[in-house]
């Protein structure tokens, strides 16, 4: 979907599940995201958004989780997010799985979440 792209790259993460796991009970589901290092102490606002079919008002997503993190200079960090309910819903209704969007904005609006490596960055 071109509406879900920025500069030709997807701005969402799409997960496809095999039919073999569709009938399994979900005990725990964690999404781990990597946040790029910061040069100065900063507050980061992390949002995980579930993409949905466009509504009449134009809404294309619904919030899954939001959190506020204080980051210090140094190495990047890994952050886990509980996505058990989202996964359970996707397995019950696979057609509702349009993917998720991950945002981790610092105080200046820079996105620190690594979903695609930048030029010169290693992949995860």
- The predicted-structure confidence for 88-108, as pLDDT tens digits, reads as follows 888 888 777 778 888 899 999
> Which runs of E-coded beta strand occur in 7-122?
9-10, 30-35, 42-51, 61-71, 77-82, 100-105
With 80 as the cut, is the pLDDT of residue 14 above it?
no
- pTM comes to 0.75
The first and second tokens of residue 41, run together, are 């102490």
Query: Phi, psi at residue 36, to the nearest 5°?
Result: -60, 155
pLDDT digits (tens, 9 = 90+) for 20-51: 776 778 899 998 999 999 999 999 999 998 88
- Contact in structure between 49 and 101 (CB atoms under 8 Å): yes
């Amino acid at each position: 979907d071109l509406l879900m792209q920025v500069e030709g790259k997807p701005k969402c993460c799409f997960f496809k599940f095999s039919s073999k796991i569709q009938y399994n009970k979900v005990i725990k589901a964690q999404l781990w995201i990597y946040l790029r290092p910061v040069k100065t102490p900063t507050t980061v606002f992390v949002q995980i958004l579930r993409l949905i079919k466009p509504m009449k008002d134009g809404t294309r997503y619904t919030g899954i989780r939001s959190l506020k993190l204080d980051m210090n200079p140094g190495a990047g960090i890994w952050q886990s997010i509980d996505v058990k309910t989202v996964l359970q819903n996707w397995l019950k209704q696979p057609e509702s799985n349009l993917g998720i969007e991950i945002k981790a904005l610092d105080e200046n609006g820079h996105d620190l979440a690594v979903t695609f490596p930048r030029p010169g960055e290693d992949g995860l």
